[in-house]
Amino acid sequence: MDYEKLTQVMRRLALEAGDKIMEIYGQDDFDVKSKSDDSPVTAADEAADKIISDGLRAEFPDVLLVTEEQSATHSTSGDTFLIVDPLDGTKEFIHRRGDFTVNIALVEGGVPTRGVVYAPAKDRMFFTLAGGQSVEETGDFAKDTVGPMKEISVSNPDNSALMVVASKSHRDQATDDYIGKYAVKDMKSAGSSLKFCLIATGEADIYPRVGRTMEWDTAAGHAVLKGAGGDVIRFDDHSALVYGKEDYANPFFIAYAPGVDLKPA
């Protein structure tokens, strides 16, 4: 894989998809439909998916592509593939809360190794460089010119005063019960894969997810977090969270900075 090219392509497609998403986000009204699993989908999801999937297939025709919005790709299998959630946080989009992202990642040998997470309504972009290090880009986000970048890294957590981030739309008692095992200084709520990025930048220390997610929800954020020195493990036995599973469904998991003294499930 040409990682330099991949970085450029993923970043550009994320920005192009973000422009289309924000165009629809700015409309007075937009249609919301339900998919077979009753999750919502909008014209923004579908338009962003077309931009990204067409672009990836043109640039990397020999690499398996899995994308949330194309069910035909969900029956493919392999441990190395590109994986896309064109609009992660559709509920945040519908309710105009801004915490939605464009997620594009490369999984190699079951591990997310490169990725981009772009939050167009928040003007935040995180991605892995060709060498695997994660950065946050600031500036105007020009399509063909990368703006100022800073390397990001996880915190050195204080286990007597942890910063916890949890889901805005999927918070439940099981999550609160697990968080209660830690000495928590403060809690943040965030939507979509931004939760991984808040750990990657050191703005939070741990994100437990006791609920259903799919690999396209997590791969890009996982890659960004790994490139910043963090990791994601299974909730039940603390083994590695691997990708390319049957039906691309994730078990419960914990994303964290390695200095966190993890508690048992």
Q: Which residues are annotated as a binding site for Mg(2+)?
A: 68, 85, 87-88, 217
Tokens of 67: 């994308």
| Cα–Cα nearest to 116, from 154, 149, 91, 93 | 149
**Binding site, annotated residues for substrate:** 68, 87-90, 217
Tokens of 22: 């924000």
**124-128 and 111-119: which strand pairing?**
antiparallel
Neighbours of 79 (CB within 10 A): 14
Q: How far is CA 69 from the centre of its chain?
A: 15
**Binding site, annotated residues:** 68, 85, 87-90, 217
Distance CA 76, CA 21 (A): 27
Residue tagged 């999927």 (tokens): 170
